[in-house]
Amino acid sequence: MIEIRHLTRVYDGVPVVNDVSLTIGTGELAVLVGTSGSGKTTLLRMINRLVQPTSGQVLVEGVDTATLPAHLLRRRIGYAIQGHGLFPHRTVAQNIATVPRLLGWPRARIDARVDELLALFQLDPATFRNRMPHQLSGGQAQRVGVARALAAKPDLLLMDEPFGALDPLIRAKAQADLRAIQQKLGTTLILVTHDMQEAVDLGDRIAVMDGGRLLQYDHPARILTQPAAPFVRDLIGATDRPLRLLSLKTVGDLAQPGDAEGPAIPPEATLHDALAECLWTGRTALPVQGGGIVTLDALRAEARPR
């Protein structure tokens, strides 16, 4: 569990992060979202003390991070950034092995861990182990960057705009992969983004920041239906609101008994996908693979705040 207590950072008399408190449960994925200059990146960087807080505390599993030497703290916290920051003079394997090497793991354990991570990120170890970073595509480099951050099995992973440099198609796949891996490993993850859609798609909880202050910290559905401030509503975008709400639930959640015409939709598809399918094919109900249907009326009801 990560507890952030009254965290403040002042630059030249101006607070960039202003008295922020929030708690992130173990295994949760929290997204810090806001415009540039909102303080979200500074808040993230205070957690691994790349930025020293002016006041306030960060507690990881009850331990005040200020009591540890900064470099030892950082070896326990995974860190991945936009543009991946891979070391250009080191191979993929050496890049991934960075933190285990700093921690003095034995050679055999490091090698096994590197191969395990490459396989986890769908990169064939034999092919990619000895590649140099400039030989990777953007998506591959991003995956290696995340693998490097996870190498020493950190309990907490911090990511600063990890998908910022990817094109939309690869980005969607990378987001889905990250979510799957995070759930599989049970890692607590804090991710910074300026993209509300990304926040809604990924976050168990979303922290909306503006002008250094935390405006709202809640589950995505509540952020969408009950925005706590006009700024939050603006960030969501009034036109996209119902569609984003639909993207939070799957067809399986809404399936009801019945029969319908046409090709079936998989139960793990989102309600957003189901609505699109209804509109495109002119149907009022879709059969769900494995039985049941999902109706346009039910979708309509889900797209409104209750």
Partner 1 sequence: MPRLWPPAVLFAMIGLAGLALPLVQFKANRIVPGEGVGLAALPHGPWVMLGLGAALVLACPDRWPAVARLASAVAGLIAATLMLGMAASHLPPAGNSLARVAPASGFWLLVLAFGLMVADAVNRLRPSLALRWVMLAGAVALAAGILASGLLDGVSVMREYATRRDLFGREAQAHLALAFGSLGLALLAGIPLGIAIFQVRRWRGPVLGVLNILQTIPSLALFGMMIPVLGWVAATVPGATQAGVSGIGTFPALVALFLYSLLPVVSNTLAGLSGVPAPTREAAVGLGMTRAQVMAQVLLPLALPVLLAAVRIVLVQNIGLAVIAGLIGGGGFGTFVFQGLGQTAMDLVLLGALPTIALALVAGIALDLLVQGTRRGAA
Q: Does 88 participate in binding partner 1 (rule CB under 8 A)?
A: yes
Min dist CB 24 to partner 1, Å, is 19
Among 81, 93, 141, 150, binds partner 1 (CB under 8 A): 81
Among 41, 42, 48, 142, binds partner 1 (CB under 8 A): 48
Q: Does 82 participate in binding partner 1 (rule CB under 8 A)?
A: yes
Min dist CB 119 to partner 1, Å, is 22
Stretch that binds partner 1, among 67-75, 166-174, 237-245, 296-304 (CB under 8 A): 67-75
Instruction: Name 28's Cβ contacts closer than 8 Å, sequence gap at least 6.
Output: 188, 189, 204, 205
Q: Does 87 participate in binding partner 1 (rule CB under 8 A)?
A: yes
Min dist CB 96 to partner 1, Å, is 11
Q: Does 99 participate in binding partner 1 (rule CB under 8 A)?
A: yes
Residue 126 to residue 128: CA distance in whole angstroms: 6
Residue 301 tokens, joined: 């009801």
Residues 200-259 that bind partner 1 (CB under 8 A): none
Residue 101 tokens, joined: 């090497």
In this complex, which beta carbon is closest to partner 1, that of residue 83 or of residue 252? 83
Half-sphere exposure of 267 (CA within 13 A, CB side): 10
Count of residues of this chain found to bind partner 1 when the rule CB under 8 A is applied: 25
3-state secondary structure of 57: strand
Among 67, 108, 134, 168, binds partner 1 (CB under 8 A): 134
How big is the chain by its Cα radius of gyration, in Å? 21
Residue 188 to residue 163: CA distance in whole angstroms: 18
Residue 288 to residue 268: CA distance in whole angstroms: 10
Q: Is 89 left (phi over 0), alpha (psi -120 to 50) or beta?
A: alpha
Residue 274 to residue 266: CA distance in whole angstroms: 9
Stretch that binds partner 1, among 20-28, 35-43, 72-80, 264-272 (CB under 8 A): 72-80
Residues that bind partner 1 (CB under 8 A): 48, 50, 71-76, 79, 81-89, 98-99, 102, 134, 145, 148-149
